[in-house]
Amino acid sequence: MSDIWVRQEGRAGRITLQRPEALNAATYDMLRAIKAAVDGWAEDDSMELVILDAEGERAFCSGGDIADLYAAGRAGDFAFGRQFWADEYRLNAKLAEYPKPIYAFLQGFTMGGGVGLGCHARHRIVGDTSQIAMPECGIGLVPDVGGSLLLAQAPGRLGEYLGLTGARMGAGDAIYCGFADHYAPETDWEALKASLIATGALPDLTDAPAAPLAAAQAELDGFFARETLGDIITALDSTDSPATDPARKALLRNSPLSMAAALHVIRRVRAARTIRDALREEYRFTWRASEQGDFLEGIRAAIIDKDRRPKWRHGPMSVTQEDALAMLAPLGENELKLEG
C-alpha cells in the first residue's frame, strides 16, 4: 500500500495519508506527492474543493518523519535538512494560500508537521479524539511549519504557553485557539465527506465542546506575557498553583535555546501576521538547528536512544537573549524562498 492515496471523487480532490502504523508521520515523498496533487488541481475546474484526511483512528499526522534528518545531520550533512524544511515550508504556504477550500479531518494526534498540513486548511474539523500540539521545543526546534502564526493569533498569551510547553489541545481548545473550526463526532465524518463530494458543502455542525484553556487563560497570560524564558520560569516558581505545575515541568524539560527563540518568533509573527513572514522566521532557526542548535540531541533523546535525558547546550536560566537572537539572524542568500 502506498503511503498516500490521491484521487478525484465527485467535486473533490482527495488526499489520504496511509501510514497508520507510523501515526501517519509525513515522509519527504509524501510531502512531494501532496504538493504535486494540489498543484495539479489548482486550476482544474472539475475540482471544487480538496479533502485531506488520514487512515487509522490514532492520528491524522503525528509530525514529520525525522529519522532521515537525524541520520544526515549526524553525518555532517546539514544541506539535506535545510532542503527538506524549505520544501515543506513551501507546501505549508501553498496550503494556507490555496485558491480552493481545503477540508481537513483531524482525528487523534495532529502535531508538528501534521499541523502544517492540516491546520492551514480553510475548514478544519476535529472530533473527540483530536489532540493538537506544537511540541517542537521538546526536540530542539521552534514551532514551525507556519505554526508560529497560529500560535501568534491565539487569544492572549496562549500562543507562548502552547509553543513553549507543547501542551496538547482537545477539540474545544483547538477551536478556541484557532487551530480548528468545526467539531463533529467522528462517527459522522464519513457522511460529512460524502456530502462534500456530492454537494461541495458541509451541513450545519454541532457546537464545539468546552475549552478548558478559556478558563485558564487569564492566569496563563500573567506568566507567559513576561519578557524572557527566565522571567516566565521565575514567575511560575513563585506560585504553588496546581494549574501551572505542568507548564513549569515542561519549561524545565524542553530545550532552553528553542524556547527562548520561540518567544521571539511568536512575538515577531504576531506583529507581521502573515504565513510567509512566519515561515521565514522559522526557517532561520531550522536552517541552523542541526549544526548550531539542540535538534540532533533532542532527536537522539526522544527517538533514537529514547532515554528522555537530552543534554541541552544551555540551561533554562542561563540561556540569553543573544543566544536566541543568534539563531534567528538573517540568512542572507540562504533566506527561505517560497516560490517554487
For range 15-37, the mean pLDDT: 97
DSSP 8-state class, residue 156: T
pTM: 0.97
Q: What is the pLDDT of residue 8?
A: 96
For range 78-91, the mean pLDDT: 97
pLDDT tens for each residue of 152-203: 999 999 999 999 999 999 999 999 999 999 999 999 999 999 999 999 999 8
For range 52-64, the mean pLDDT: 96
Q: What is the pLDDT of residue 1?
A: 60
Q: How far apart are CA 269 and CA 262, in angstroms?
A: 10
**Residue type present at position 192:** L
Q: 24's torsion region: left (phi>0), alpha (psi -120 to 50) or beta?
A: left
Query: CA triplet 110, 87, 130: central angle to 5 degrees?
Result: 5
Mean pLDDT of the chain: 96
Check pLDDT > 80 for residue 331. yes
pLDDT tens for each residue of 225-272: 999 999 999 999 999 888 789 999 999 999 999 999 999 999 999 998
Residue ranges per structural domain of the chain: 4-133+171-199, 212-332
More confident residue, 243 or 4: 4
Q: What is the pLDDT of residue 207?
A: 81
Contact 172, 216 (CB under 8 A): no
Q: What is the pLDDT of residue 340?
A: 60
**Which pairing describes strands 182-183 and 131-133: parallel, antiparallel, or unpaired?**
unpaired
| Assigned CATH for 4-133+171-199 | 3.90.226.10
> pLDDT category, 273, cuts 50, 70, 90?
confident
Instruction: Count the Cβ atoms, other than its own, within 10 Å of residue 12.
Output: 23
Q: How far apart are CA 33 and CA 113, in angstroms?
A: 15
**Total length of the chain:** 340
Residue among 140, 166, 164 at smallest CA distance from 290? 140
Check pLDDT > 90 for residue 75. yes
Q: Is 6 in a helix, a strand, or coil?
A: strand
Q: What is the pLDDT of residue 315?
A: 97
